[in-house]
Amino acid sequence: MLVKATDMGVRRGERWIIRHVDLTVDRGQLIYLIGANGAGKSTCAKAILGLLAIDEGSVERIPALKVGYVPQRLALSPTLPLTVRRLMTLTERFPSSRIESALAAVGLHRLGDPPVTTLSGGEFQRLLLARALIHRPDLLVLDEPAQGVDMAGSGVLLDLIQDIRRDLQCGVLLISHDLHAAMSSGDDVVVLVPHEHDERSVGLVDPYTGAARQGSGQN
Amino acid sequence: MLDDFFIRALLAGIGLAMVTGPAGCFIVWRRLAYFGETIAHSALLGVAIAVLVDLHLVIGIFVTAALVVLAMYYLERRDTLPTDTLLGLLSHGGLAVGLVLLSFFPNMRVDLQALLFGDILAVSHTDLAVIWGGGVLALGLLWWIWRPLLAATVSPDLAVVAGLKPERAQLVFGILLAAVIAAAIKIVGVLLIVALLIIPSASVRRFAASPEQMAAGAAVVGMTAVAGGLFASATFDTPSGPSIVVTALVLFILTRLGRTLPAGDAR
C-alpha cells in the first residue's frame, strides 16, 4: 500500500466537494479516477497528496513517500524565462545525466533546450510528466494529463504512462474523463459521483465485468 | 565634482540596486507590483511612528512595512475580499493614518519632499552601513529561499509535493521586500521605489534565458540606472529619485528598440 483514503470528505463552507471516498493505490498499480466535471476529481487528488486538509475520514501515506505530481493546470507567467531543462530542476537539483534520461523517457531528449513557452500542448504535457518522474516517485498522480492533446497524442501518453509504471514499479493515480481507456487498462477504476445525490459518492467498477461494487480499492 | 556625499549616495544606490534587481524579478514574475506599492505607502506611517517613539527612520519604516506584510499574509488567508482590495485598504489606510499622525507634530521637521522622491544629500555613513549590511543579508536570504520561491512562482502545489516550504519562502520574501523598501527611501523615495524594482527586470526579460540570468541582468541594469541617474542629478541639479527612474526608463526603452522577438517568447 502506498496511499489509502478511507471515508475521505472535503467540505467548502456547508457544501461537501467530495464525501465517503475510499481509495487505495498499491505499488505497481494503475488506478483510474473518473467522474463528471465538478465531481471533485482534482480535489480528491489534492486531498490524497496532502495539499488540501480533509474534513472527514482519513488519508494514510507510507512514510517518506515520494510523489510525482502533474497538476491539471500550470499557467506559466510569460515574464519568467524557463527552458525545458531548467524546469526539470525546479524543485531539486539533478545531475544532467538524470535530466537526459527523464527527458528520453518521454521522447523529448532531442528537443534541445528551448523556452517552455514554445512547446506544443502535447510536448508540454510530456515535459510535465518527465519533471514528475525525474524524482523517481513511488506514486505518480496525474490530473488529466491528456487534456489539450489529440486522440493520437493521448494514446501515446497512455502508453508512456504504462511504460513508466513498469520501469519505476510505481503506483499511478490517473484522473481522466476517458471511461473506455480506464476500463481497458486500469487495475481499478474509482468513479466519483457528484455529491448532490447524497449517497456514498464512490463506487468501484470492476474493469473486467463493468459491474459497480462498493468497498476498498483492492484488486 | 565627486564630493563625499555624492560617493556615499552612489555606493548606497549601487548596494540597493544589487538587491532590487533580483527581488524585482519576483515582483514581475508573481505580479506583485501593487503589493510593493502598498509596502512603500506604509512607509509614511513608519515615518510617523519613528518620529513618535524616536527611532531611526529606516528602522521605523522597516518595522511598519514588515507589520503590513504580516497583516496581508494573515488577511489573505482569513478574508474573502480580493487581494487588490485588501492591498488598497492597507496601502491608503496606512498612508492616511501616517499623514494624520504627522500633523500632530507641527514642530517636527519631516521633509515630505525628500521622503517621496529621495534625497541624495541625506545619505549618511550610518545609512551606507545599514544599506550594505542589509543588502548582503538580503541577498543571502534570497539565495536561501530561491528554489522554493521560484517553484512556488510556477506552482505552489508542485513545491509542496516536492517537500519544499513555499509559504515560508513567500513570507521571508515579503519581509525582505519590506527591508529593501525601507532602505530605498533615501535614494529614490516612497513614490518611486517600485519603479526601481520592476523597470530593470522588465528591461532584461527578453535577453534572459533563465531566471538566474534575468536576476543578475536586472541587478546590472539597476546599478547602471542608479549611477547614471545620480550623475544626471548632480549635473542638472534634478531630484535624485526621479533622475534614477528616468535613467532606468531610458534603458528600458533602449532595450525595446532592437529586433523584436518571435511571438510568444516575451510579452
The minimal CB distance from A83 to the residues B158, B210, B264 is found for: B210
C-alpha cell at A137: 516517485
Question: CB under 8 Å to B164, separation ≥6 — which residues?
Answer: A91, B147, B148, B151, B152
Distance from CA of A73 to the nearest CA of B (A): 9
Domain boundaries, chain B: 4-191
Which amino acid appears at position B147 of this protein? Answer: R
Q: Tell me the pLDDT tens digit for each residue of B152-201.
A: 999 999 999 999 999 999 999 999 999 998 888 878 888 889 999 999 99
Percent of chain B clearing pLDDT 90 (strictly above): 59
For the cut 90, the answer to whether the pLDDT of residue B105 exceeds it is no
- State how far the Cα of B39 lies from the Cα of B32, in Å rounded to an integer: 11
C-alpha cell at A59: 488519508
Q: Tell me the pLDDT tens digit for each residue of B15-68.
A: 999 999 999 999 999 999 999 999 999 988 998 898 888 888 888 999 999 999
Question: CB under 8 Å to B49, separation ≥6 — which residues?
Answer: B55, B60, B63, B64, B101
Question: CB under 8 Å to B214, separation ≥6 — which residues?
Answer: A81, B25, B201, B204, B205, B208
- Model pLDDT, residue A115: 93
Q: Does A120 touch chain B (CB under 8 A)?
A: no
- Tell me the residues of B at the A interface, defined by beta carbons under 8 Å apart: 28-31, 147, 150-151, 153-155, 157-164, 202, 205, 208-211, 213-214, 264-267
Q: Does A28 touch chain B (CB under 8 A)?
A: no
DSSP track, B63-82: HHHHHHHHHHHHHHHH--S-
Question: CB under 8 Å to B129, separation ≥6 — which residues?
Answer: none
Q: Do A69 and B161 touch (CB under 8 A)?
A: yes
Residue from B13, B18, B14, B10 nearest B142 by CA: B18
Q: Does A76 touch chain B (CB under 8 A)?
A: yes
Cβ contacts (< 8 Å) between A90 and chain B: which residues? 147, 150-151, 154, 158
Distance of CA B211 to the CA centre of its chain: 19
Across the A:B interface, residue pairs with CB atoms under 8 Å apart total 74
Minimum Cα–Cα distance from A141: chain B residue:
B161
- State how far the Cα of B31 lies from the Cα of B160, in Å rounded to an integer: 21
- Model pLDDT, residue A197: 47
For the cut 60, the answer to whether the pLDDT of residue B215 exceeds it is yes
Q: How confident is the prediction along chain A (219 residues), in pLDDT tens digits per residue?
A: 899 999 999 998 888 888 889 999 999 999 999 988 878 899 999 999 999 999 999 999 999 899 999 998 888 888 999 999 999 999 999 999 999 999 998 888 898 899 999 998 888 989 999 999 999 999 999 998 887 777 777 788 888 898 999 989 999 999 988 777 788 777 888 888 876 544 454 555 554 444 444 443 333
Distance from CA of A161 to the nearest CA of B (A): 19
Suggest the residue from B27, B153, B158 to mutate for an interface test with chain A (most A CBs closer than 10 A): B158
Suggest the residue from A43, A49, A90, A116 to mutate for an interface test with chain B (most B CBs closer than 10 A): A90
- Model pLDDT, residue A216: 39
- State the angle between helix axes of B33-53 and B4-29 in degrees (0 to 180), rounded to the nearest 10: 130
Q: Does A50 touch chain B (CB under 8 A)?
A: yes
Average pLDDT, chain A: 84
Domains of chain A: 3-209 (3.40.50.300)
Q: Does A74 touch chain B (CB under 8 A)?
A: yes
Suggest the residue from A74, A80, A116, A127 to mutate for an interface test with chain B (most B CBs closer than 10 A): A80
CB B27 within 8 A of CB B205: no
Domain B4-191: which topology?
ABC transporter involved in vitamin B12 uptake, BtuC (1.10.3470)
- Model pLDDT, residue B247: 96
Residue showing cell 449517497: A199
- Model pLDDT, residue A209: 45
- Model pLDDT, residue A202: 54
CB B62 within 8 A of CB B179: yes
- Model pLDDT, residue B71: 92
Q: Do A79 and B150 touch (CB under 8 A)?
A: no
Q: Do A81 and B210 touch (CB under 8 A)?
A: yes
